[in-house]
Amino acid sequence: MTATHYYRCFLGIVSREALRFVHQRERFVAALVRPLVWLLVFAAGFRAALGLSIIPPYETYVTFEVYIIPGLIGMIQLFNGMQSSLSMVYDREMGSMRTLLVSPLPRWYLLMCKLLAGAFVSILQVYAFLLIAYFFGIEMPPLGYLTLFPALVVSGLMLGGLGMLLSSVIKQLENFAGIMNFVIFPMFFLSSALYPLWKMKESSLLLYQICLANPFTHAVETIRFALYGQVNFLSLLITVGVLALFVGLAIYGYNPARGMMSRKTVTTG
């Protein structure tokens, strides 16, 4: 195994993921419409609700539309993570995953390639979303569009890792919709995506603590601070830690000797 092999494999996986992204136009449109509906419909209704207090990283009052941008970016990446895990379950059911897994390259490497490819696709979606939001008059600080990038890589990998972990546990495609509802909705609503946590704390301390324990909150906060050229070290650390945990468990789950895949192999033949 030389570096060339690794590189060729990486290119193969990324280009397959990119092709899937290009060919599934509906998926791309859906990925953009979802946050845009939140931004243009939901946020418009709550326009006057915010702007009451200044919390870091903001230096002045922001409208609700501006506040929920990082949350919606997180939403795009969360859905993308789920989507790519869905495609993994699908690949496994259809048998095309076996082509991938017979590769002599180590399995953890294949999974990492897959993860990176998914994160790459989610980042494309995020920038397309920001571009559209910009034309609706919702602007971020100019340099924020650049400083956002590393945060997107970390949060994209973390949420992709979550999807991969789920796909290693879920046996069948049919189960997936239920699990997704269980994961996506609580993760999104019990986070700082839609409302600042101090507001949550005012109404319920317990909910506030749940939000704080939600890794999605920290992905969103990492993104939020990055958009303003700042680093929220605590959130970044938690996001990276959770990323390592999810990916570690996913690699374990896909290990033919131990995890979910071995049982799968036994049952299918």
State the residues that interact with another protein by CB under 8 A: 44, 47-48, 51, 54, 59-63, 127-128, 131, 134, 139, 142-143, 145-146
* Residue with Cβ nearer another protein (93 or 139): 139
Structural contact between residues 190 and 111, judged by C-beta atoms closer than 8 angstroms: no
Instruction: Please report how close the Cβ of residue 37 comes to another protein at its closest, in angstroms.
Output: 18
Q: How far is the CB of 14 from another protein (least distance, A)?
A: 15
Cβ at position 6, least distance to another protein in Å: 26
> What's the min distance (Å) between Cβ of 154 and another protein?
20
Comparison of 59 and 202: residue with beta carbon closer to another protein: 59
Residue in 77, 76, 46 with CA at minimum distance from that of residue 63:
46
Complex with another protein: residue 148 or 251, whichever CB lies closer: 148
Q: Tell me how far, at minimum, the Cβ of 35 lies from another protein, in Å.
A: 17
Nearer to another protein, 26 or 59 (CB): 59
Q: How far is the CB of 159 from another protein (least distance, A)?
A: 22
Length of the chain: 269
Q: CB 63 → another protein: shortest distance, Å?
A: 6
**Closer residue to another protein (CB): 143 or 244:** 143
The sign of the torsion formed by the CA atoms of 87, 92, 98, 99 equals: negative
Closest CB to another protein among residues 54, 234? 54
The residues, any chain, with a CB within 8 Å of residue 109's CB and separated by 6 or more, are 6, 9
Spatial distance between the Cα atoms of 32 and 127, rounded to a whole number of angstroms: 10
- Judged by beta carbon, residue 45 or residue 95, the one nearer another protein is 45
